[in-house]
């Protein structure tokens, strides 16, 4: 069984493409079920954030599975595959393990060391577990990725300073508006990114905080946490003139702020500058807002300059994180490789047991005066002989799996003993291997 990754990120696709292939967390059940219904895709997890959309899956057929997932992404979002494929990357086997470990550890993030991505992958895995589209391999794989991320975070100083997309937004606001003291910030949305932005803006001297969220109670909780004011979402445009800085991060499938909305607000503010930061994907604010006088709009991609400066400071710590990832890849890959020998080991034991049982019964049938106690001893003796005979080949086969030489041994054993395997056998021994 192989692990494959297919996706795109801020490194390969602009926001205009990423927003078209984003999956809504509220509607994730159907695409997850469609994913694992593809031929030879047995497990699947969909990760969808503002900076990346990735699918983690298991398959016996690397090339075919990868092609089917690319087609799934294109068809699901109604994008011609030939126009989407240029933005997609794919990994399999050890490269896939390395990629996911790096993503979970925030080594592949726009801002290296930012903590949001780990929570986002955990949420994606939670959906897959809830809808039972992850199984033995992806369950163990992602739990391992979480533990690697924790190790990178605790054994390096990669997250020692407050650097994130939200912090980069604050830095950009400083560049545009100068001193933020006395400025009023409006957050549209009340998710994790908005919460982080609130912390950074207030720490940087912003005076007031307004929160507009579709679920008023959630917006009210966030506003209360920072001493701000919650605004009913339907009154957003009535209150927008109060904000010098507007940061929007909602899950809306389309823009919620149009040029005409901002034009009226800017006039009401007598053309006092307004700074808009749209970190939502799909975007919340119509890009034409940036064409209006006194309105300055930046998207998540515009944060790249700030991000790159911060990344330079973290390169040294990131290199330590890369070393940890490399150490952990080998351990997990050994476990995954050992699964390839699982069905052969189970089938070999079944064949020996079949022979032992048949020969024992034949012997007992011709030995009528044998006492029950002697019969029991004979049973134990034959079982002991079988186990001793199988011990060495079983150990060798497991070691071969960990060393990447499984095929040579399994093919030979299957031909020599005419072995057949089943999915049930796989599951039984996978559990044994996990217990080990």
334 is catalytic: no
Question: What is the band of 334 on the pLDDT scale with cuts at 50, 70, 90?
Answer: confident
Query: Comparing C-alpha atoms, which of 267, 243, 114 is closest to residue 186?
Result: 243
Cα–Cα distance between 112 and 310 in angstroms, integer? 8
Question: What is the band of 430 on the pLDDT scale with cuts at 50, 70, 90?
Answer: very low
Please give the span between the terminal C-alpha atoms of the chain, in angstroms, as a whole number: 20
Q: Which residue has the higher pLDDT, 168 or 245?
A: 245
pLDDT at 160: 60
**Of 146-150, 177-181, 317-321, 417-421, the least confident:** 417-421
**Residues in binding site for NADP(+):** 189-194
Where do the CATH 3.40.50.720 domains begin and end in the chain? 165-307
Highest mean pLDDT pick, 6-10, 275-279, 373-377, 415-419: 6-10
**Residues in binding site for substrate:** 49-52, 109, 114-116, 120
**Model-level pTM?**
0.61
The second-level CATH assignment, the architecture, of 2-162 is 2-Layer Sandwich (3.30)
Assigned superfamily of 165-307? NAD(P)-binding Rossmann-like Domain (3.40.50.720)
Highest mean pLDDT pick, 5-14, 202-211, 359-368: 5-14
Task: Write the CB contacts of 220 (distance below 8 Å, at least 6 apart in sequence).
Answer: 211, 230
pLDDT at 402: 58
CA distances from 106 to 15, 80, 315 (A): 19, 31, 12
What is the secondary structure of 211-241 as a DSSP string?
EEESSHHHHHHHHHHTT-EEEEGGGHHHHGG
Question: What is the band of 429 on the pLDDT scale with cuts at 50, 70, 90?
Answer: very low
pLDDT at 405: 62
Q: What angle do CA 60, 21, 36 make, to 5 degrees?
A: 30
Beta bridge partners of 421: none
Beta bridge partners of 163: none
pLDDT at 426 over 60: no
Cα–Cα distance between 317 and 112 in angstroms, integer? 10
Residue 168 zone, left/alpha/beta (φ > 0; ψ -120 to 50; rest): alpha
Where do the CATH 3.30.460.30 domains begin and end in the chain? 2-162
- Choosing from 50, 88, 247, 303, the catalytic residue is 50
**Is 283 strand, coil or helix?**
coil
Average pLDDT taken over every residue of the chain: 87
**Residues in binding site:** 49-52, 109, 114-116, 120, 189-194
pLDDT at 317: 82
Reported residue count of the chain is: 436
């Amino acid at each position: 069984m192989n692990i494959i990754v297919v996706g795109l990120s801020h490194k390969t696709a602009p926001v205009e493409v990423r927003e078209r292939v984003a999956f809504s967390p509220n509607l994730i059940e159907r695409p997850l079920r469609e994913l694992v219904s593809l031929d030879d895709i047995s497990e699947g997890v969909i990760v969808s954030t503002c900076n990346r959309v990735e699918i983690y899956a298991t398959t016996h057929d690397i090339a075919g599975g990868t092609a089917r997932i690319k087609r799934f992404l294109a068809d699901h979002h109604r994008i011609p595959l030939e126009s989407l494929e240029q933005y997609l990357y794919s990994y399999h086997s050890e490269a896939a393990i390395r990629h996911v470990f790096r993503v979970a550890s925030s080594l592949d993030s726009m801002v290296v060391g930012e903590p949001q991505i780990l929570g986002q992958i955990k949420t994606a895995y939670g959906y897959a577990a809830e809808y039972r589209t992850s199984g033995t391999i992806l369950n163990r794989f992602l739990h391992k990725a979480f533990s690697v991320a924790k190790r990178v975070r605790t054994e390096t100083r990669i997250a020692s300073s407050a650097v994130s997309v939200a912090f980069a937004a604050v830095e950009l606001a400083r560049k545009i508006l100068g001193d933020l003291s006395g400025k009023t910030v409006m957050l549209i949305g009340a998710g994790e990114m908005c919460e982080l932005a609130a912390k950074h803006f207030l720490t940087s001297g912003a005076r007031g905080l307004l929160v507009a969220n579709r679920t008023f109670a959630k917006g009210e909780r966030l506003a209360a946490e920072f001493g701000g004011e919650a605004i009913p979402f339907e009154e957003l445009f009535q209150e927008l003139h109060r904000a010098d800085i507007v940061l929007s991060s909602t899950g809306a499938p389309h823009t919620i702020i149009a040029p005409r909305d901002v034009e009226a607000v800017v006039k009401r503010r007598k053309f006092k500058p307004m700074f808009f930061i749209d970190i939502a994907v799909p975007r919340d604010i119509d890009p034409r807002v940036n064409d209006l006088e006194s309105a300055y709009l930046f998207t998540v991609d515009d944060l790249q300059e700030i991000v790159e400066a911060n990344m330079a400071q973290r390169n040294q710590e990131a290199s330590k994180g890369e070393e940890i990832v490399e150490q952990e890849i080998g351990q997990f890959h050994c476990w995954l490789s050992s699964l390839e020998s699982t069905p052969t080991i189970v089938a070999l034991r079944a064949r020996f047991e079949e022979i032992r049982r048949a020969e024992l019964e034949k012997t007992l049938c011709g030995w009528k005066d044998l006492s029950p106690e002697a019969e029991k001893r004979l049973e134990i003796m034959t079982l002991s002989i079988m186990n001793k005979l199988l011990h060495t080949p079983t150990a060798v086969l497991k070691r071969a799996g960990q060393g990447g030489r499984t095929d040579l041994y399994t093919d030979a054993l299957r031909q020599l003993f005419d072995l057949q395997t089943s999915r049930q056998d796989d599951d039984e021994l996978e559990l044994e291997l996990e217990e080990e």
